[in-house]
Structure 1
Amino acid sequence: MRRLRSLLPPLNFITIHYVYFIIVPLISSVVFWGSSNPRSSISYVDSLFLVISAMTEAGLNTVNLSQMTTWQQVLLWLLIIIGSSIWVSIWTVLVRKHAFETRFQEIVRKERKRSLERRNASLTLLPITHRLRSLGRSRTVQDSSEGAPWGQRPAINLPVISRPSDRRLVSAIVPPHQESGVRTSGSFTRPHSVATAEDVAPAPGTADAEEGNTRASTTTEHVIFADDLRSGARSTSIAPSGTTAQRHLSNTDTAVNPRSYLKGHKVGRNGQFHGLTSEEREELGGTEYRALKLLSIVVPLYFFLWQFLGCISLGAWIANNLPGPALENAISPWWNGIFNGVSAFNNSGMSVLDANMIPYGSSYFVLIVMGAMILAGNTAYPVFLRLILWSSLKMLKWVTYDDDLVEWKETIGYILKYPRRVYTNLFPSRQTYWLVFMLFVLNGTDWVAFEVLNLGNSTLEQTPLGSRIIDGLFQALAVRSGGFYVVSIPTLFIGLQVLYVIMMYISVYPVVITMRHSNVYEERSLGIYGEDPIYSDALTRSVSRVQSSSKSRSLSRMVRVAFAEWYGVGAAPNQLESRISFISHQIRGQLSHDLWWLVLAVLLIMIIETKHFLEDPVTYSVFNVVFEVVSAYGCVGISIGSPNAAYSFSGGLYPGSKLVLCAVMIRGRHRGLPVALDRAVRLPSDDMHMVEEEDHLRRSMSVRRPSFDDTGI
């Protein structure tokens, strides 16, 4: 078992992603195949191909969807949703959020155990008369530091998860006579501590003592991400009353003050923090937890509202203005709009109509709405999401006072400034502008090429000028990832078909290069840090000074573990150059990972399809096979099509070729993922901050090390 385990890839985000996209289609294919009517009218290979195509958003179909049962169409519709990259990212955020909460609960459990031990020790030291006199009073026993001034009490450096729920808990945390010193920069704060039900019990002799004891036994624990109040606690300035402090605390789950660890000298490239104290690390963990908590609400709302509103608008418009094409295929116009809306947002390209989007070539509303959904669900998703967060922050600042909703403002500001620490598909402003620029360049190129390279095309010249312009725009948006076609691809001139092959292949490049360029652990994901004898010994000594001996690990072991990980697409684990161009490196990495898959797939399919090629060399030409393979690998869905049939070119291939394309679709679905070392997909652990410290030391020492060119090596 140990030898077998050593041969398997490590359990990380990418391997789990592969398992998900293999197991779910295998199970769904059996259900889909058994749902055929009449039974087995759709072969199992076609069933497997269709569910994988839907799950990977490839959109190719070997059978006309209009011939399927309604349940089979619904099953494909559901697979399109749960195969979406946004859907996967939602669960990534939720899992990381839960991991933070689990770690905090463990911290609380250990702290309660230590507090109980200290309390028992204090009880044994108290005189017997004092203990008898305290019977029946509060269950909370003050320790030796309770009588000390607020700012001089020992701090327990723990993060905060939630807030007290009522005024009594707030007043227990902050005594009324001390409230003037616990409010800094418009937010309610307190020293690092754990506020449990026992900690906030009413004082002995008060009217609420009995109720407080009851509450202490039933109320769940509250852990607060608190900030250091060494300066604020000593303040003697007049501050708002307890009601005001309570109002600020109740605005959000946590309260924060300006972050000292956000200063420039502690922030490295891509939002890597270094040189932080343990308290600052805890505050950073609390901030990232709040960011995940906010994203766990914003991203699902974005995912749901775009599809809900888009599907309803498309269904209503088609049902009331152009129901004919759907009725001719025995499809409800409403279902046609709902299916196409989900397929557009998730960039699948599947359609319940045999003619895809050709019947709606003159329907401006349908093309514009679906074009916007194609952008919102894939290529422009990081842009739209950042725009929403940026607008929300501006709106909050505009409609509220500076000291209102401070926690919300700081959390959104943190996400906008350091997005790649918390989310895979959200980038800093500079990279986002670059992504917008590439969207205009690539989509504009496709749009202009559609109009120019088809001059003289008799098929398109019959289309009115206005419709032709809109059709070109929609096709430009769909060719990179959307998968729909508003004109028959074989009718286009060959030059445009070749351009579409290129665009389908590079469709993922802008987003994935931006994702990896903004990765916090950029050098590690590229494999730049290796066993370099020039500075590995010095680095080991430097790391040992900043890490405690009980938790530190040797550099050699760290390197072995790092290089043993499965980095994913585009990584180069053995690359030792530290001053290379990042984009050129990524392009070379993508080509090395992509081309052999494409070449091997084309070779296998041409071998399998030899008989078809000999019978009809035009239909089963090498170019048509290359077009289909690239479309499957890019998870686009545009196809040359089959003669005398409405399904994709894949429908006319032998079962062996279809299985090859299934593997190509699954592999292509994973080429746009972040590497396994991406900060936004890793679960919180004790050594994450050590990784950042080591990277900073490596980077600092690599700047001072001699160049190979200077030494003549």
Structure 2
Amino acid sequence: MAFNWRVIKPYLPRIRFLTVHYAYFIGVSLVTSAIFWGSSTPAHSVRYIDSLFLTVSAMTLAGLNTVNLSTLNTFQQILLFFLIMAGSTIWVSIGVVAVRKRIFEKRFKEIVQEETLRRKRLRKTTSLARRITWPRSISRQSTISEDPDLQTDRRRPSIISLRSIGPRIKSQGQIPTDSAHDRPSDQQAEDIHPTTRHDSESVVSGDRLPYRRSSGDPNDTEDTEVHITFTNDLRDGRGDGPSPIRRRMRPPYVNVQSMLEEGQSEGSDREDDSHLNFLRKISRNSSFHHLSERERQRLGGAEYRAVSLLSIIVPVYFLLWQLLGGLGVGAYVARNKAALARANGMNPWWVGFFFAISAFNNSGMSILDANMVPFQRSTYMLITMGLLILAGNTCYPVFLRWILSTMRRILPPGEYFHYLRETLTFLLEHPRRCYTTLFPSAHTWWLFLSVVVLNGVDWVAYEVLNYDNPAVDVIPVGSRILDGLFQALCVRSGGFYITNISALQIGTQVLYVIMMYISVYPVVITMRHSNVYEERSLGIYADDPTVTEESENSSVNTSLSPKSPSQGRMYFIRHQLRAQMAYDLWWIALAVLIICIVEAGNFTRDPVTYSAFNIIFETVSAYGCVGISTGLPTQLYSFSGGWHTLSKLVLCAVMIRGRHRALPVAIDKAILLPSDKLAKAEEEDALIRMERTMSRTR
């Protein structure tokens, strides 16, 4: 009996971004856990539950460990090394960009072909432009050249490229060309040359010499005709009258000032068109509406070029930071802490690279059992690791936008870099149409400010609340200040600890629980608030009367109230925060309840170590994918290493669920594949928004 796929298809989960994301993390964790367990030396020395816990922890970047990583063999450490990179947020985004680029290429085949042809034409034009020498300055009446080598034969007028003078001038027809040489033929040159056919006298007075010119627009296949106006003051020096034009005439004077003035005005239109400023029908979050089919195609082409650029920049960013960071940290460990690495039975360079990779991907795993405690006074190590932590997660959107903005500023002028500059401009002005963690300027500044404030609070708390703490007082003041900053960077995502967490003052530990709980909120709220389909995803719209009900009660004419848009945006933020916090809370509460029940025997035996607060701390750290732990008194691994099997399984589920809470919503332009449905969705949003605005003004 043949298998009928259609019978079971309705019962299968819908394939979407969240489903694929879960399948990727769960599938890789299960497969690698079996490999990890089977490769133990001696055989099966690491229990399977610990193997599963470590692979899930590495893949989700939680960073918790139930065994000392220094006791693992080299293969197991390398496996964790690559799992940390495979679970990175940036690595996952690279996969999304690659898939979307491929779909764009299939959907916009014509645009991709035009892009390829444009690059070829641009290379040929650039090569030709290098052969043409223009005067350094051009006045209203200036000559092209007096060089006899540049003098033009009467029957072969030179074809001059005016691309460097200005954009397109008014078209007045098309000149037939010789296909072999792409210039007017002899007979045609005879007809258009500003001289007579015979030796009779002729005056060059306002005659206009047409030349062919390409607009440079890949969508414009028509050639335009540029006319050069000649002056009438050519003299031969023998009298006041005009001289007959000889077969080899001197180069005429060219009136180009008007061409420059006209070219600038029309060049701005061309630039507006190329930068998609013709799409002036734009709503909030770069949502375009009321576009024609051709405008939609051009918008899709711009998005394709932006995604193509990201498919190069993001992987380079991902690889260079880790490579350079690994070299920097590895060199430091090999030079200054080699004995410490060898005491754990490992190569110093390997220790340094593992530290750098774990820091950049915000895992917090360390193959040194003491984590970062031995580096309390290592200024270079702390600064480098802290910078890697910021670059890989917390400030990644800030760094990426800064890089793109800097690229646009330093690009040299010229036609060759015109399209790259255009793509960078589109990417910076409409980032959320192309990438999940690249935000508009205002959102990026808000994210940067939130990072500064939250990390500043953690830094001050570490210094102030632990003022009389013996575990902190033994550190010199200068190193203690830097240690406090490094620990603040690690609390929300880094996962490393510079001082044993259980030795810190209880108020600091409570603050860390709160910070780990809200660790992803700045990025995820910014991501969802800047979503192109934000209103559709929430089922509400900025101009919905229920959104601005307070402003309606406080203003006679709410349609003219300038506070309504901002209040609407604040409503979105409050709505998202309430929904996110409520959804997160019940997961943590349920997990803590189950773990407390399972670990009741350990609590009876050691109520201080297995206290409810320590269980909450470990669970929140796992859910936030942070990795810091209160630990065990007699062991160097995480507190969860002393739990029962069921508690470890529950924490694995918590880590996987926590890794997925920072994802964009299902309706996010940056993860959706291009289709006609998306264009219809934008048009529907615009229509609903317009109808609700009109209903409010009645």
- TM-score normalised by structure 1 residue count: 0.74
Match of 1:17 in 2: 21
Does structure 1 retain, via aligned residues, the 8 Å contact 2:59–2:86?
A: yes
> 2:307 corresponds to which residue?
292
Shift of 1:283: 1.2
Letter in 2 for 1:162: T
Residues 14-413 of structure 1: pairs in structure 2 closer than 5 A:
14-105=18-109, 160-163=114-117, 226-228=218-220, 233=224, 258-259=273-274, 261-263=276-278, 265-396=280-411, 400-413=412-425
SS in 1 for 2:116: coil
Query: Letter of the aligned partner of 2:369 in structure 1?
Result: D
Stretch of structure 1 that moved more, 578-587 or 57-66: 578-587
Superposed CA offset, 1:410-461 (max 9, x none): 1001111100000111000000000111011000000000000111111211
Conserved 8 A contact 2:541-2:689: no
Whether the 8 Å contact between 1:631 and 1:638 is mirrored in structure 2 is yes
**Could you tell me which residue of structure 2 aligns to residue 149 of structure 1?**
none
Q: Deviations over 1:622-671 (max 9, x none)?
A: 10000000000000000000120000001000000000000000000000
Say if 1:178 and 1:47 are closer, same or farther in 2 by CA, change over 3 A. farther
1:442 matched to 2:451? The reply is no
Give the Å deviation of 1:182. Answer: 10
Q: Measure the CA separation in 2 of the matches of 1:68 and 1:236.
A: 78
Q: Does 1:611 align with 2:601?
A: yes
**Deviation (angstroms), 1:226:** 2.7
Which amino acid in structure 1 is aligned with residue 329 of structure 2? L
Q: Counterpart of 1:516? A: 528
Matches within 5 A, 1:518-533: 518-528=530-540
Q: Does the C-alpha gap of structure 1 residues 67 and 169 become closer, same or farther in structure 2, counting only changes over 3 Å?
A: closer
Q: Secondary structure at the match of 2:328?
A: helix
Equivalenced residue count is 565
CA distance in 2 between counterparts of 1:447 and 1:169 reads 53
Classify 1:528/1:610 alpha carbon distance in 2 versus 1 (closer, same or farther; 3 Å): same
Question: What is the aligned partner in structure 2 of residue 695 from structure 1?
Answer: 685
Question: Would the aligned equivalents of 1:361 and 1:471 in 2 still touch at CA under 8 Å?
Answer: yes
Deviation at 1:180, TM superposition (A): 8.5
**SS of 2:114 mapped into structure 1:** coil
Q: CA deviation at 1:688?
A: 1.7
Q: 1:533-548 maps to which residues of 2 (within 5 A)?
A: none
Give the TM-score, by structure 2 length: 0.76
Aligned with residue 661 of structure 1, among 647, 651, 662: 651
Shift of 1:158: 8.8
For the Cα contact (< 8 Å) 1:159–1:283, is it kept in 2?
no
CA RMSD after TM alignment: 3.3
Identify which of 631, 642, 650 aligns with 2:632: 642
The residue type paired with residue 606 of structure 1 is C
The structural deviation recorded for 1:279 is: 1.6
Residue aligned with 2:413, SS? coil
Tell whether the 8 Å contact from 2:108 to 2:300 is kept in structure 1 after alignment: no
* CA displacement, residues 264-293 of structure 1 (integer Å, 9 cap, x when unaligned): 741111111112222211111111111111
| Corresponding residue for residue 485 of structure 2 | 473
On the 8 A contact 2:63/2:363 being kept in 1, the answer is: yes
Q: Which has the larger radius of gyration?
A: 2
Instruction: State the alpha-carbon separation in 1 of the partners of residues 663 and 687 from structure 2.
Output: 28
3-state secondary structure, aligned to 1:355: coil
Q: Is the 8 A contact 2:115 2:218 kept in 1?
A: no
Structure 2 match to 1:602: 592
Verify the 8 A CA contact 2:334 2:349 in the aligned structure 1. yes
Q: Is the 8 A contact 2:108 2:301 kept in 1?
A: no
The answer (yes or no) to whether the contact 2:360–2:392 under 8 Å persists in 1 is yes
Structure 1 residue 613, shift from structure 2 partner: 1.2
Matches of 1:674 and 1:376, distance apart in 2: 20
Aligned equivalents of 2:217 and 2:7: distance in 1? 44
Equivalent-residue separation in structure 1 for 2:463 and 2:92 (angstroms): 37
Equivalence for 2:551: none
1:662-686 Cα deviation digits (max 9, x unpaired): 0000000000011111100111112
**In structure 1, how many angstroms separate the alpha carbons of the residues matched to 2:165 and 2:355?**
50
Shift of 1:527: 2.5
State the one-letter code of the partner of 1:320.
R
Evaluate the alpha carbon distance shift between residue 16 and residue 646 of structure 1 in structure 2; reply closer, same or farther with a 3 A threshold. same
8 Å contact kept, 1:424–1:674? yes
Confirm or deny: 8 A CA contact 1:101 1:161 kept in the other structure.
no
Residue 475 of structure 2 is aligned to residue 463 of structure 1: yes
Counterpart Cα distance in 2 of 1:617 and 1:167: 76
> For residue 257 of structure 2, what is the aligned residue in structure 1?
none
**Code of the aligned partner of 2:287:** Q
Q: Which amino acid aligns with 2:108?
A: F
Q: C-alpha separation between the residues in 2 aligned to 1:68 and 1:279?
A: 60
Counterpart of 1:678 in 2: which secondary structure?
Answer: coil
State the one-letter code of the partner of 1:505: Y
Residues 182 and 229 in structure 1, CA contact (< 8 A), matched pair in contact too = no
Give how far 1:75 is off: 0.1
Q: Deviations over 1:41-98 (max 9, x none)?
A: 1011100000000000000000000000000000000000010000001111111111
Shift of 1:395: 0.7
TM-aligned CA distance change 1:345 to 1:237, over 3 Å: farther
Structure 1 residue 259: deviation in Å? 3.7
In 1, Cα distance between equivalents of 2:409 and 2:10:
51
Counterpart code for 2:46: I
CA distance in 1 between counterparts of 2:664 and 2:158 reads 49
Contact 1:181–1:235 (CA under 8 A) maintained in structure 2: no
CA change 1:260–1:350 in 2 (3 A) is: closer
- Contact in 1 for aligned 2:105/2:112 (Cα 8 Å): no
Task: Give the gaps of 5 or more residues in structure 1.
Answer: 109-156, 190-201, 207-223, 240-254, 535-576
Percent identity for Structure 1 against Structure 2: 54
Distance 2:424 2:476 in 1: 47
User: 1:556-575: CA deviations, max 9, x gaps?
Assistant: xxxxxxxxxxxxxxxxxxxx
Name 1:553's counterpart in structure 2: none
1-side partners of 2:612 and 2:122: how far apart?
Answer: 76
What stretches of structure 2 of length at least 5 have no aligned partner? 129-155, 170-177, 183-215, 230-253, 255-269, 547-566
SS in 2 for 1:330: coil
Q: Give the Å deviation of 1:260.
A: 7.2
